[in-house]
């Protein structure tokens, strides 16, 4: 009998990915159905539904669920079950008008021009996009990368139960990393783990990430380094490069029996606190008992306070999730302590000074962040050895040396240590 946490809102995972003859029949049927084009975010959400990562959701949300999730973190269709972010599918008004209630449609990925699944349309409705942005992102600023995406959605939302026939290119491109929740659970059970801490990653692991992982291993049976391999914003490091950089760190600095790596296909929303809750929901489905929540989890720019993602777990009902947050303070390298440290442990408050050649000039705390690492690498500057392991820097240097068009990386307060709690 499994010692792992239960899937969210269910005793069992609910994958909707068809296989074998059933899949072949659905693909054949889809040829005669109207094509509904999907954005990359909608496609990745469909895959998450398909593999059971969004258990117990069985399709794209209707209006009552959309409103319940936006306003109260609740799924009306599942007796008020906790859910933090709407999972919706939009279509043009013309497309919506052409589809009858109860009609089946083919769900088509516009980026790869491929059939991803089918849906029986149960509802068509409009939404207040600004309201969703205010609730989910806490802003309507179009400079927020995903506020813009929501505002650009088509006019009508389509809702209904889905059947999924494809995981796109993820299983092949990220072979050995990409995992379904059932596969991760099986690995944890084979290792007799009952407590598993998930480390959310969208950046290569620098020393702060590694430090958080090592702390988690001290209090749990193991660490699940769970990498996002879906789409990111411009300027972020591509998934294949990140996977390689993380692998060299794990190979050289982790005990093999205490770490498992995995990849998931969701697209980042950069929704800060709300996205931290979504990360918790699907990590529970993957079998994790804890989620590491550090500084500026799933944030972007200065839209959220550096620890808002920790605070929000105290604002939701105690029984909302079986998974629990593992809140960890701001971590950094301290030249006076001569080790990694955190705000809770280090008494030296002066900021370290590093010159353009990466040489230490004085002070104590060297603040580490993925944004700062990307900026140093993209500008061809030396990265202090205290910032990241040489094996990781070598992988990133190879990527940036061959990058034809470089994107300017702008630092925000949370990346430099300027922001306050």
DSSP string computed for 107-130: EEETTTTEEEEEEEEEEEE---HH
**pLDDT above 80: residue 418:** no
- The most confident of the ranges 51-65, 197-211, 389-403 is 51-65
Do 148 and 185 share a structural domain?
A: no
**pLDDT above 50: residue 2:** yes
Within-domain flag for 394: yes
CB 292 within 8 A of CB 198: yes
Q: What is the mean pLDDT of residues 188-210?
A: 92
Do 28 and 155 share a structural domain?
A: yes
b/e code 92-116 from CB counts within 10 Å (16+ = b) = eeebbeebeeeebbbbbbeeeeebb
Do 418 and 310 share a structural domain?
A: yes
Distance CA 213, CA 219 (A): 10
**pLDDT above 80: residue 87:** yes
Do 356 and 208 share a structural domain?
A: yes
pLDDT band at 233 (very low <50, low <70, confident <90, very high): confident
Do 244 and 114 share a structural domain?
A: no
Q: Residue 420: its pLDDT value, please?
A: 45
Q: Residue 407: its pLDDT value, please?
A: 52
Q: What is the mean pLDDT of residues 296-303?
A: 91
Do 313 and 350 share a structural domain?
A: yes
Distance CA 401, CA 406 (A): 10
**pLDDT above 80: residue 117:** yes
Q: Residue 39: its pLDDT value, please?
A: 96
Size of the chain, expressed as the number of residues it contains:
421
Within-domain flag for 11: no
Within-domain flag for 205: yes
Structural domain including 114 reads: 20-168
Within-domain flag for 61: yes
pTM of the model: 0.92
Do 122 and 188 share a structural domain?
A: no
Q: Residue 211: its pLDDT value, please?
A: 94
**pLDDT above 90: residue 421:** no
pLDDT band at 378 (very low <50, low <70, confident <90, very high): confident
Active centre residues (catalytic): 202-203
CATH assignment at residue 31: 3.10.400.10
**pLDDT above 60: residue 371:** yes
| Model pLDDT for residues 404-417, shown as the tens digit of each residue | 766 554 544 444 45
CATH assignment at residue 386: 3.40.50.620
Q: Residue 415: its pLDDT value, please?
A: 46
Do 187 and 161 share a structural domain?
A: no
Q: What percent of the chain has pLDDT over 70?
A: 95
In the listed set 122, 145, 168, which residue is the last one of a domain according to the structure? 168
Do 411 and 389 share a structural domain?
A: yes
Distance CA 59, CA 383 (A): 45
CB 116 within 8 A of CB 166: yes
Do 179 and 159 share a structural domain?
A: no
**pLDDT above 70: residue 230:** yes
**pLDDT above 90: residue 266:** yes
Within-domain flag for 15: no
Q: Write phi, then psi, for 81 (nearest 5 degrees).
A: -60, 140
**pLDDT above 80: residue 234:** no
pLDDT band at 91 (very low <50, low <70, confident <90, very high): very high
| Model pLDDT for residues 21-75, shown as the tens digit of each residue | 999 999 999 999 999 999 999 999 999 999 999 999 999 999 999 999 999 999 9
**pLDDT above 70: residue 212:** yes
Do 188 and 90 share a structural domain?
A: no
Within-domain flag for 6: no
In the listed set 150, 168, 186, which residue is the last one of a domain according to the structure? 168
**pLDDT above 90: residue 373:** no
DSSP single-letter state for residue 139: -
Q: Residue 285: its pLDDT value, please?
A: 98
Within-domain flag for 7: no
Distance CA 258, CA 214 (A): 10
Number of domains present in the structure of the chain: 2
Higher pLDDT residue, 85 or 410?
A: 85
| Model pLDDT for residues 126-179, shown as the tens digit of each residue | 999 999 999 999 999 999 999 999 999 999 999 999 999 999 999 999 999 999
Within-domain flag for 14: no
In the listed set 136, 168, 200, which residue is the last one of a domain according to the structure? 168
pLDDT band at 387 (very low <50, low <70, confident <90, very high): confident
Q: Residue 406: its pLDDT value, please?
A: 60
Do 180 and 64 share a structural domain?
A: no
């Amino acid at each position: 009998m499994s010692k792992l946490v239960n899937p969210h809102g269910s005793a069992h995972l609910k994958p909707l990915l068809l296989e074998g003859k059933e899949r072949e029949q659905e693909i054949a049927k889809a040829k005669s159905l109207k094509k509904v084009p999907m954005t990359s975010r909608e496609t990745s959400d469909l895959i998450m539904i398909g593999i059971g990562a969004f258990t117990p959701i069985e399709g794209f949300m209707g209006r009552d669920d959309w409103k319940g999730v936006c306003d109260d973190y609740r799924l009306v269709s599942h007796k008020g079950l906790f859910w933090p972010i709407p999972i919706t599918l939009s279509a043009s008004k013309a497309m919506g008008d052409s589809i009858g209630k109860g009609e089946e449609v083919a769900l088509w990925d516009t980026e790869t021009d491929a059939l991803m699944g089918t849906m029986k349309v149960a509802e068509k409705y409009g939404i207040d996009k600004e309201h969703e942005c205010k609730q989910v992102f806490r802003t309507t600023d179009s400079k927020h990368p995903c506020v813009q995406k929501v505002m650009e959605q088509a006019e009508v939302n389509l809702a209904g139960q889905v059947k999924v026939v494809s995981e796109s290119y993820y299983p092949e491109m990220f072979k050995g990393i990409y995992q379904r929740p059932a596969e991760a659970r099986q690995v944890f059970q084979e290792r007799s783990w009952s407590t598993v801490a998930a480390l959310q990653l969208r950046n290569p692991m620098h020393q702060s990430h590694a430090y958080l992982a090592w702390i988690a291993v001290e209090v749990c049976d193991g660490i699940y380094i769970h990498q996002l391999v879906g789409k990111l914003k411009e300027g972020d490091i591509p998934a294949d490069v990140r996977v390689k950089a993380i692998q060299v760190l794990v190979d050289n600095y982790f005990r093999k029996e205490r770490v498992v790596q995995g990849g998931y296909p969701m697209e980042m929303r950069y929704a800060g606190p709300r996205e931290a809750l979504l990360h918790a929901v699907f990590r529970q489905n993957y079998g994790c008992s804890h989620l590491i929540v550090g500084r500026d989890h799933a944030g972007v720019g200065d839209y959220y306070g550096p620890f808002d993602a920790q605070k929000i777990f105290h604002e939701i009902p105690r029984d909302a999730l079986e998974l629990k947050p593992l809140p960890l303070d701001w971590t950094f390298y301290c030249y006076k302590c001569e080790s990694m440290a955190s705000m809770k442990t280090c008494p030296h408050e002066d900021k370290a000074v590093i010159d353009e050649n990466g040489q230490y000039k004085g002070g104590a705390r060297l603040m580490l962040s993925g944004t700062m690492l990307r900026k140093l690498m993209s500008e061809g500057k030396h990265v202090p050895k205290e910032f990241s392991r040489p094996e990781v820097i070598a992988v990133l240097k190879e990527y940036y040396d061959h990058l034809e068009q470089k994107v300017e990386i702008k630092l925000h307060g949370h990346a430099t240590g300027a922001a306050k709690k």
